[in-house]
Amino acid sequence: MRTIRFILQKEFRQIFRNKTMLPVIFVIPIIQLLILAFAVTFEIRNINLVVVDQDHTTTSRALISKFKAPKFYTLKSYLPNYDQAAELLKKGQAHQVLVIPNGFERDIVKDSKASVKLVTNAIDGSAAAIMNAYGNGIIMDFNQELVVESMGGQDFKQPMQVSYSYWFNPELNYTTYMVPGILALLVTIIGMFLSSMNVVREKEIGTIEQINVSPIRKYQFVIGKLLPFWLIALFELAFGLTLARIIFSIPMVGSVPLVFLVAAVYLFAVLGIGLFLSTLANTQQQAMFLAWFFAVVFIMMSGLFTPVESMPYWAQQLNMINPIAYFIKMMRMILLKGSGFADIARDLMAVLIYAIVALSMAVWRYRKVS
């Protein structure tokens, strides 16, 4: 223990003396949390709508007013024909075009039916689907009002009443969903990137040879190298959870100690990966590129931005070796759903096995460093 204590003292002194590493550890993660929590969202707002009203009647104006009410829409302009509106779509200045044909009100009064055209810019397929759902919902709501009016203002009773109950996120706040995942991402960056460059730095400054010929045992060296970043990452998580609660009002339904237990086990896995990558690289730049390669793949497939269930079957199976996917899933389950140890035991065991394998490979590979 005395040897490990001296190694830890050396590592902490190196960390706090490194003016480049300190902002990476303490400043950049907090800035990323504050920025990403607001910026990374799949909610569609400020939809630029162009209206082509060829009817100019009370009914057409009533339909247009329905699009003015929601916070999602911004009426970009009114144009006399569709060709001009299509040009705005091509230039990216409009997201949707609402075309109300001539005779719209007359057809409703005479035939009890009429048609409108809603054209959506579908370069981004997922965004287009959401915008189309918004538009169709507004038109259907307007259609129901017309049905009520046609019945002389009588109460219109639908044969089936549907009520909605949104569990775990009643306000449908996307920040509530994203922040636990972003915290997992920040912990990963601290663990994987910094640990991957730590041993390589010893190679670059020429001190690795001195360490290898010293009486320091291998396990003492590994503990001394990884434990500082393990403690720093847990501190970052605690600080991030505090900010998430104060600034974003993230609900913490489950056990906070369980969150730290999961994070502690998970950090051994990513620290093991980082240490293993550092034994493969000869420079900090090589280590950074290797860590970045694996981190990007793991993050994009983790379910942080898109649901894992929406991925192809082969990608879902490949996620079995993705530790970030397990961690994000457990973070959301504990904080938002209030899941207990029994609910996450299987995923936690998978991460524990991952950590044992990663650390074992790192220690085995370090034997070849000289």
**pLDDT tens figures, 112-155:** 788 899 999 988 877 888 888 888 889 888 888 887 776 655 55
In which order are the strands placed within the sheet that holds 47-53? 73-78, 47-53, 96-100, 117-120
- Domain end position, chosen among 119, 150, 181: 150
Summarize pLDDT for 313-338 with one digit per residue, the tens: 888 888 888 999 999 999 999 999 99
My answer on whether 17 and 96 are in the same domain is no
Residues 223 and 288 in one domain: yes
Output the pTM of the full model.
0.78
Same domain assignment for residues 83 and 179: no
Q: In Å, how far from its chain's centre is CA 320?
A: 19
Q: How far apart are CA 177 and CA 175, in angstroms?
A: 5
Handedness of CA 321, 41, 252, 182 (dihedral sign): positive
What does DSSP say about strands 96-100 and 117-120: parallel, antiparallel, or unpaired?
Answer: antiparallel
Taking the CA atoms of 190, 195, 196 and 198 in sequence, report the sign of the dihedral they define. positive
Q: Determine the straight-line distance between the first and last CA of the chain, rounded to whole angstroms.
A: 25
Contact present, 79 and 85 (Cβ < 8 Å): yes
Which amino acid is present at 244?
A: A
Query: For residue 339, what are the domain limits?
Result: 2-40+173-366
Residue 234 lies in a domain: yes
Name the one residue in this structure whose structure tokens are 């779509």: 89
Rounded-to-integer distance, Cα 295 and Cα 289, Å: 10
Pair (190, 300) in one structural domain = yes
Phi, psi at 340, each rounded to 5°: -100, -175
For residues 209 and 354, membership in a common domain is answered with yes
Q: Which residues contact 85 (CB under 8 A, 6 or more apart)?
A: 50, 52, 79, 94, 97, 99, 119
In contact, 20 and 194? CB cutoff 8 Å: no
Q: What is the DSSP letter of 193?
A: I
Residue 167 maps to a domain:
no
Measured distance CA(353)–CA(223) in Å, rounded: 18
Please state, in angstroms and rounded to a whole number, the distance separating the CA atoms of residues 205 and 207. 6
Q: Same domain, yes or no, for 188 and 67?
A: no
Summarised one tens digit per residue, pLDDT across range 182-237 is 899 888 888 888 788 777 777 777 676 666 667 777 777 778 878 888 998 899 89
